[in-house]
Chain A
């Protein structure tokens, strides 16, 4: 694959344009630096985040079939920048792909809009998170060549988000078994140091923040605390919903776990952007709740050394 130009239909999701606008912004900047062409799906709808599927499975399947069909209309594969979009959409795609009669039934609801979702051949049309596309289609070697500011000395804890690591069978791990170690690979390719800690593949707690606040914040606070104890300078995540609980709610989570926290949480495009030479301000890092100043200091120190 490597060597090819990357051009994809881009679904930014809701939260990246809502409470984490710095994610959508930094993705645009990084795409420019990498030479990727993003065709934004600005008419596409919310993936339902698992909540709509919980209410009415057919509704979630049809809403996402619409997004897939809009992407297919561009003739391009699709990219998302949210673990939750990846998981919720993969779940619907799995059902749509499993049965032609069911697919036809769903497409019937789209026919009035001149849309239809077609099952791709093996290796054909795909919907991949930025993380997967970066490693599988762009390639780590090419990424390494683009690094102008290696993240030397920066100790980064990966935080995946449940929806992009489980269930393995649905998320294509049979074809891509290393998808649960891609963040580590990217951190390494950017010149950073991987921090191993207990929470990397656990749940941030966000899905129950309105229903079981204490359970939710205990999860976020525990993982941030564990990463601090393991020596992390920051976390990196491909999921804006995880970012909401780990960063935006961090001061509240600190109260629940009854300890000081204060750990920067970067969106994946921000971490990549830093290594590609973008400035923290351009990447919207000032918008975070947990200060990113320490990360900037580490990078300056690393560059001086």
Chain B
């Protein structure tokens, strides 16, 4: 057993007060979960501490929360590991930190924590930092760690028409599909709707209207389904929306937050790829930017930045002959930035200012040969599905060793 201090961001709407921090001291095995710690505090210290939970085994998806700022499930995070993380981050920033204000601009945590710790008469583990627990981000808080999943998460899920839209009349019996054709979407099907990815989403932080990682992963689940007949319409809709697939800032937060390996960002990139394959032009320059980038590297080998800007907004001959309103606005808007760059000298050269002057690599033909090979094969290697070579065999060996060396009696616990 070990002692931990958990610092919980609390909010009791009926009190009329704003959110505040409260520390609880709990005593449990390091291998138990942060959720176990919270439930102990609820049992022993304050029954009003509100947290959603049910299965305690990362299946139901109820206990989404932020632990030391990282979104995930309370039941899938070991409290010992959370303690190590809290200590590490404090050691990194604490020793010389100029300011260490809490990221949420509420009551100073140190003050309230001090009072509560004194009142409860408990002492924190010496030298250990409190484990900080907050409700999920990007959604309203109802009470303590309970967030309103309806107004953000479920509303966004419904936005992507999360059901099958098949061809014509339904068959007399079940739909029959080749098992291989469904493998691609098994990763997005693993979602348990916990909202951890939504909580972690950095695009949504800047644009609350963003459809977001959970809903877009769900969208891919139907886009990739061979029974669905509205693939093109779905993709068109998501590419057209300024808060759709091209609003994802590619920050990988949702990949690390997801407890089930869904990797929502990877699904969003698949949606973009499919939209490109379907030839869908969008008003956000998403597709044009992608194609411009790919073509520049084929031609030059390294990036011609000014050409990328030009071709993203006004692609090809047509784009220049009849530029869109948005292209004109964006190009005019970038002039002040370019002037500043010329003034400081960062862009003071012809090949940086004039699109297309950028030199190509000495052996650009080698790069072109790579393009020819890859365009022909187009192989997609999904680690989630294929796994690492030899990984299974090694796991089996390890499990075998564990089994043979485990003392009698422990086996039954597992």
In the bound assembly, the distance between CA atoms of A51 and B207 in angstroms comes to 22
> Do the beta carbons of A19 and B346 come within 8 Å of each other?
yes
Q: Which of A162, A196, A251 makes the CB contact (< 8 A) with B252?
A: A162
Candidates A59, A181, A205; contact of B370 at CB < 8 Å:
A59
B246 near A212 with CB under 8 A, answer yes
Q: Which of B96, B284, B340, B378 lies in contact with A211, CB distance below 8 A?
A: B284
Contacts A18-B352, A193-B98 known; A215 to B290 CB distance under 8 Å? no
Q: Assuming the A-B contacts A18-B352, A162-B251, are A54 and B92 also in contact, with contact meaning beta carbons closer than 8 angstroms in the complex?
A: no
Q: Which of A55, A66, A95 contacts B276 (CB 8 A)?
A: A55
A109 and chain B: residue at smallest CB distance: B373
A63 to B368: give the CA distance in the assembly, Å.
Answer: 10
B366 partner residues in chain A, CB cutoff 8 A? 66, 112-113
Inter-chain contact B341/A19, CB cutoff 8 Å: yes
Residue of A58, A63, A98, A192 touching B388 (CB-CB under 8 A) = A98
Chain B positions 352 through 384: 1 when the CB is less than 8 Å from some CB of chain A, otherwise 0: 100000000111001101110111011111010
B95 within 8 A of A: yes
Instruction: Give the interface SS of chain B, mostly helix, strand, loop or mixed.
Output: helix
Give a binary string over A225-252; 1 marks a CB under 8 Å from any B CB, 0 the rest: 0000011100000000000000011011
Pick from B96, B293, B347, B377: contact of A188, CB under 8 Å: B96
Tally of B interface residues using CB under 8 Å: 83
CA distance A117 to B345 in the complex (A): 38
Which residues from 257 to 279 on chain A have a C-beta closer than 8 Å to any C-beta of chain B?
none
Contact among A19, A102, A177 for B381, CB-based, below 8 A? A102
Q: How far is the CA of A56 from the CA of B250 in the complex (A)?
A: 16
Q: Which of A99-128 contact B (CB under 8 A)?
A: 99-100, 102, 105, 108-110, 112-113
Does B53 sit within 8 A of A, measured CB to CB?
no
Contacts of A163 in B (CB 8 A): 252
Residues of B within 8 A of A22 (CB): 346
Please indicate the chain A residues that have their CB under 8 angstroms from the CB of B100 in the complex. 196
With A19-B341, A46-B301, A54-B273 as contacts: A110 and B375 at CB distance below 8 Å: no
CB contact under 8 A between A230 and B375, given known A46-B297, A54-B272, A57-B380: no
Instruction: Give Cα distance in the complex from A198 to B202, angstroms.
Output: 12
Contact B99 A196 (CB under 8 A): yes
Q: Does A178 contact B (CB under 8 A)?
A: yes
Residues 119-162 of A, flagged 1 when their CB comes within 8 A of B and 0 if not, give 00000000000000000000000000000000000010000001
Within 8 A of A (CB), among B391-412: none
